[in-house]
C-alpha cells in the first residue's frame, strides 16, 4: 500500500510516522513538504524578543523520517487528482492508495488594507525575525503599540501570548512608561479564544489587562492599517508605532487548485468525524486543513475557531489509526469530531502562564478549568522541550 502525506508539521509528521510504525513493511509512506525542517510553531512568540532562535525550535525532517522508514520529499505539491489518485508536484507526480492532506493554512493578509505592508505577523520564521527587527528599531523611538487579531481570525491565543510577552519586554527595556499598549480583538469578550471561553476566563483576562495597564477593545475588526495608525471597524483610530495582528487562515493553493476536493469557501475541507473525506474514501484530512465551522454565536465581527497545536497532533493520530484499520480490513473507524477533542493548552503570559484544560474543546463540557501560574512559565517551557524531544526522536505515538 502506498500512502502519501502532504504537509509535515504536527498533523502530517505524526500521521506519517504512526502509519509506518503500525504497518511496518506492508506500507510505503512518503511525506511531501516544501520546507526542510519541522518547526515548533508555538515557540515563535519568543523569537521576536530573542528568547528563542529559529534553530532552537527546528528539527530536520529528513533525518527523523528516514530513520523511521518514511521517505521525505522536499517539494511543493500543486494539485491533487482524486480520480486518478495522483499528487502533482514541482518535481513530478506521486501515485497513492491513501492520501493524507495536512498542509496547514495560508495567511490571508488581504483581509484589510495595509496589513501586509504595515503590520507584523509572528506565525512564520520570516515573520518572527522581521518582527524582531522592527522591535529593535522601535525601542530607539518608542510610542503606542497595537496587538491583536483581525476579523475572521482563529488564532487569538498566540496573539494574547505575544501581547503579554511584549509587555514584559517593554519593562525589560525600561520603556514601558513611554508606551500605550492596546489589545484589539473580534472576540465578543476577553478570553473567548474561539472556543466560547472557559470558566473564570474573562474575569482572569480582565485582571491581567488591569494589572499590566493594557487598553483593550473587543468585538472590533480592522478596517485599515496605516504606517502610524490602526483604523478599527468601530471608526476608532489608534495611533501606533508598532503593530502585530493575526490575520485569518485560509486553505492553501494546493486545495484551491484541486476543485474535485470540493473545499469550503475558506479553502478548508469538510470531513466525516473519522477525518475521512466526505466523497473520496481514500483521502483523509488532518490539522488546520480540516474545515471546522464555529459552533458559537457570532457577534457583529466574525471570528473562527483555533486549530493549532494539540488538536492538530490528535487528528494526525486519528487519521493514522483509521488508515491502519482500513489496511487490516477493519471497517470500524475511530471517530472524534473536532469539538470533542480535549482542550489542552498552556498560554504564556510573559514568563507567567495560564494552564487551560477541558474534556472537550467546544461546549458542552463536563470539565473545564483555567489555572494561572504567576511565578514562571515552566509549564510552557517543559511542553516545548517535550514536544521537540518527541519529534526529534520520532516518538509520534506518545501523548
Cα separation, 73 vs 61, in Å, equals 10
In terms of Cα–Cα distance, which of 280, 324, 393, 254 is closest to 29? 324
State the average pLDDT over residues 331-349: 95
Fold of 2-45+59-106+249-340: FAD/NAD(P)-binding domain (3.50.50)
**Residue 308 binned pLDDT confidence (cut-offs 50, 70, 90):** confident
- Residue 309: predicted pLDDT: 84
Q: Give the dihedral sign, CA 237/241/167/198.
A: positive
Residues 6+ apart with CB under 8 A from 50: 132
Q: What residue spans define the domains of the chain? A: 2-45+59-106+249-340, 109-248
pLDDT digits (tens, 9 = 90+) for 235-245: 999 999 999 99
pLDDT digits (tens, 9 = 90+) for 31-61: 999 999 999 999 999 999 999 999 999 999 9
- Coil vs helix vs strand at 374: coil
**Residue 358 binned pLDDT confidence (cut-offs 50, 70, 90):** very high
Can you identify the CATH homologous superfamily of domain 109-248?
FAD/NAD(P)-binding domain (3.50.50.60)
Percent of the chain with pLDDT over 70: 100
Q: Give the dihedral sign, CA 354/195/238/210.
A: negative
Cα separation, 256 vs 269, in Å, equals 10
pLDDT digits (tens, 9 = 90+) for 87-134: 999 999 999 999 999 999 999 999 999 999 999 999 999 999 999 999
Cα separation, 152 vs 309, in Å, equals 19
- Polymer length in residues for the chain: 399
Average of per-residue pLDDT values in the chain: 96
Is there a shared CATH topology between the 2-45+59-106+249-340 domain and the 109-248 domain? yes
- Residue 55: predicted pLDDT: 97
pLDDT digits (tens, 9 = 90+) for 3-14: 999 999 999 999
Using the 8-state DSSP alphabet, how is residue 248 labeled?
A: P
Q: Does the pLDDT of residue 375 top 90, yes or no?
A: no
- The C-alpha angle with vertex 117 and arms to 134 and 75, in degrees rounded to 5, equals 90
Q: Does the pLDDT of residue 374 top 90, yes or no?
A: no
State the average pLDDT over residues 292-308: 94
State the average pLDDT over residues 130-146: 98
Percent of the chain with pLDDT over 90: 97
pLDDT digits (tens, 9 = 90+) for 194-218: 999 999 999 999 999 999 999 999 9
Cα separation, 396 vs 38, in Å, equals 13
Residue 371 has φ and ψ, to the nearest 5°, of: -120, 115
What global pTM score does this model have? 0.96
Amino acid at each position: 500500500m502506498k500512502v502519501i502525506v502532504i504537509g509535515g508539521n504536527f498533523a502530517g509528521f505524526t500521521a506519517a510516522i504512526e502509519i509506518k510504525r503500525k504497518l511496518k513493511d506492508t506500507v510505503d509512506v512518503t511525506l511531501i513538504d516544501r520546507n526542510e525542517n519541522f518547526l515548533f510553531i508555538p515557540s515563535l512568540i519568543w523569537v521576536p524578543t530573542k528568547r528563542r532562535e529559529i534553530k532552537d525550535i527546528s528539527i530536520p525532517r529528513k533525518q527523523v523520517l528516514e530513520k523511521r522508514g518514511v521517505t521525505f520529499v522536499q517539494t511543493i505539491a500543486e494539485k491533487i487528482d482524486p480520480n486518478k489518485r495522483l499528487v502533482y508536484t514541482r518535481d513530478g507526480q506521486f501515485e497513492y492508495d491513501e492520501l493524507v492532506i495536512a498542509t496547514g493554512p495560508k495567511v490571508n493578509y488581504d483581509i484589510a488594507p495595509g496589513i501586509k505592508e504595515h503590520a507584523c505577523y509572528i506565525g512564520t520564521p520570516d515573520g518572527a525575525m522581521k518582527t524582531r527587527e522592527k522591535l529593535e528599531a522601535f525601542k530607539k523611538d518608542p510610542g503606542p503599540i497595537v496587538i491583536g487579531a483581525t476579523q475572521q481570525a482563529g488564532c487569538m491565543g498566540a496573539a494574547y501570548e505575544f501581547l503579554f510577552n511584549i509587555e514584559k519586554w517593554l519593562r525589560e527595556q525600561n520603556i514601558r512608561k513611554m508606551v500605550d499598549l492596546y489589545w484589539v480583538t473580534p472576540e465578543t469578550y476577553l478570553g473567548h479564544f474561539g472556543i466560547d471561553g472557559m470558566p473564570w476566563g474573562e474575569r482572569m483576562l480582565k485582571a491581567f489587562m488591569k494589572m499590566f495597564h493594557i487598553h483593550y477593545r473587543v468585538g472590533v475588526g480592522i478596517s485599515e492599517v496605516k504606517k502610524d495608525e490602526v483604523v478599527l471597524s468601530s471608526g476608532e483610530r489608534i495611533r501606533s508605532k508598532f503593530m502585530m495582528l493575526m490575520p485569518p487562515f485560509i486553505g492553501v493553493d494546493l486545495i484551491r487548485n484541486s476543485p474535485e476536493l470540493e473545499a469550503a469557501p475558506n479553502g478548508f475541507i469538510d470531513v466525516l468525524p473519522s477525518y475521512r473525506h466526505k466523497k473520496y474514501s481514500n483521502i483523509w484530512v488532518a490539522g488546520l486543513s480540516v474545515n471546522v465551522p464555529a459552533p458559537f454565536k457570532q457577534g457583529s465581527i466574525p471570528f473562527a475557531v483555533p486549530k493549532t497545536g494539540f488538536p492538530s497532533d490528535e487528528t494526525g493520530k486519528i487519521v493514522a489509526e483509521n488508515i491502519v484499520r482500513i489496511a487490516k480490513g477493519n471497517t470500524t473507524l475511530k471517530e472524534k469530531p473536532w469539538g470533542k477533542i480535549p482542550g489542552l493548552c498552556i498560554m504564556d503570559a510573559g514568563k507567567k502562564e495560564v494552564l487551560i484544560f477541558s474534556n472537550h474543546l467546544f461546549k458542552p463540557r463536563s470539565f473545564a478549568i483555567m489555572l494561572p501560574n504567576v511565578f514562571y512559565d515552566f509549564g510552557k517551557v517543559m511542553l516545548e522541550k517535550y514536544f521537540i524531544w518527541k519529534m526529534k526522536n520520532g516518538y509520534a505515538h506518545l501523548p
